[in-house]
Each structure stands twice: as structure tokens, then as C-alpha cells.
């Protein structure tokens, strides 16, 4: 299997962490090193990463689908049914919502200043604060080490620190920061952390 990815992408990083936690043999093709058209690699018509190429089967895209597939290969961490499953899928969606808001904020603010749309920047900034604030209210339910839900939340928080660092979520939510601190010496976390440079 080959994952088209880049560790800066919080969506791709979820799959990279899961593969390490579950010891799944998977090649990682960094699209930023595979040529200018790298984002279309992996037979993903949406032209996004991650995309998971599976020999003899269709390529999977959209990170929750890829994560669920990888998880299904052995001893799933995502519960198979009941409310425990919905709890994990909901937390995963909330984590992805951090990444979505950060990504949107980044791509609004990275434009030339003349093209800035202040209302849209404020909308994404407020979404980020609302989502992280909501997650912080549930910090006791987030679990550690890796679960299907917290995987996305950790990746989202790290991406927020990297691309929307003006919002100091650690200062705003100290208990969430303490919880996040339980992951940062984990081998899968350190091995996929790509935000030191830039």
C-alpha cells in the first residue's frame, strides 16, 4: 500500500500515526517531493492528500475513510457499534473540524493583503475558537493513548499551533494542553511531527 501524503497535512498525518500505532506496512510518498503535480498522485480526482493506493483495489481518499480502512486491518480501535462508535466518530469529526478551520484560516490569510476578506478571516478564526472551546469542555472524555477520535484532535491541535499560532489554545484551555502533553513523547507522534521548520 502507498499513502500519498505530506506530514504537514493534519489529514495525512492521522493515517501516518495510525499506520505506526498499528504496525501497518505502508509506503509514504511525500507529494511535495514527487513533482509539481504531486497532489494529483494516487488517483484521487479531488487532487488532495491523503490518498491510499491499494494493490488490486481502488484508491481510497478522504482521511476518515482511509483511517477507518487502516484501522480495520487488525484489532480495530474504532468500536464496531453502539454509542461508543458514534462517540469516536464524533470526536474524530471535531478534530477534523479544527484542521478545516485552520486550513481555511491559513488560505484566507496567506493571500496578498489586497485580497483579504476580513469577515471570512474572522469567521474561520471564530470557528477555530468555538471548536477547540467545545472540545476542551469534554477533555475528560478524550482518552489516551490513541483512540479513533483523539487521533484527529491531536493532529488538528498541532496544525492549529503551526498555521494559526495567533490563537494560543494552550493558554485558553490549560487542561486541554495538559491532555495534549500526554502524547508528545509517543513514538508515533514524534516520528510524524513536521512543524519544527518553516
Ligand X SMILES: N[C@@H](CCC(=O)N[C@@H](CS)C(=O)NCC(=O)O)C(=O)O
Query: What residues line the site for ligand X (CB under 6 A)?
Result: 9, 11, 39, 47-50, 62-63, 103
To ligand X, the closest distance from the beta carbon of 178 in angstroms equals 27
Q: Minimum Å distance from CB 30 to ligand X?
A: 12
Cis-peptide into 15, omega within 30 deg: no
Tell me the closest approach of the beta carbon of residue 140 to ligand X, in angstroms.
27
Distance, in Å, from the CA atom of 5 to the CA atom of 139, rounded to the nearest integer, reads 29
Q: Report the residue number, 9 or 192, with the smaller CB distance to ligand X.
A: 9
- Residue 129 backbone dihedrals phi, psi, to 5 degrees: -65, -40
**Residue closer to ligand X, measured from CB, 37 or 80:** 37
Shortest distance, position 16 Cβ to ligand X, whole Å: 13
- Tell me whether residue 44 or residue 173 sits nearer to ligand X (CB atom): 44
Distance in angstroms (rounded) separating the CA atoms of residues 60 and 149: 20
10-21 and 82-109 helices cross at what angle (nearest 10)?
140
C-beta of 149 vs 173, nearer to ligand X: 149
Question: Between the CA atoms of 181, 70, 148 and 7, what dihedral angle is there, to the nearest 10 degrees?
Answer: 40
Amino acid at each position: 500500500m502507498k499513502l500519498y501524503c505530506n506530514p504537514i497535512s493534519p489529514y495525512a498525518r492521522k493515517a501516518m500515526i495510525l499506520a505506526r500505532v498499528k504496525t501497518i506496512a505502508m509506503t509514504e510518498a511525500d507529494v511535495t517531493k514527487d513533482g509539481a503535480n504531486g497532489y494529483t498522485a494516487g488517483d484521487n480526482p479531488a487532487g488532495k492528500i491523503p490518498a491510499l493506493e491499494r494493490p488490486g483495489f481502488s484508491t481510497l481518499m478522504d482521511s476518515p475513510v482511509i483511517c477507518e480502512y487502516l484501522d480495520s486491518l487488525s484489532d480495530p480501535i474504532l468500536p464496531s457499534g453502539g454509542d461508543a462508535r458514534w462517540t469516536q466518530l464524533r470526536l474524530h469529526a471535531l478534530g477534523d473540524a479544527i484542521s478545516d478551520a485552520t486550513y481555511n484560516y491559513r488560505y484566507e490569510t496567506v493571500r496578498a493583503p489586497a485580497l483579504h476578506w476580513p469577515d471570512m478571516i474572522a469567521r474561520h478564526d471564530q470557528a477555530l475558537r468555538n471548536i477547540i472551546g467545545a472540545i476542551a469542555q469534554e477533555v475528560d472524555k478524550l482518552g489516551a493513548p490513541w483512540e479513533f477520535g483523539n487521533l484527529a484532535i491531536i493532529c488538528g491541535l498541532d496544525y492549529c499551533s503551526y498555521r494559526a499560532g495567533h490563537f494560543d489554545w494552550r493558554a485558553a484551555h490549560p487542561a486541554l494542553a495538559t491532555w495534549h502533553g500526554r502524547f508528545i513523547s509517543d513514538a508515533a507522534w514524534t516520528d510524524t511531527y513536521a512543524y519544527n521548520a518553516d
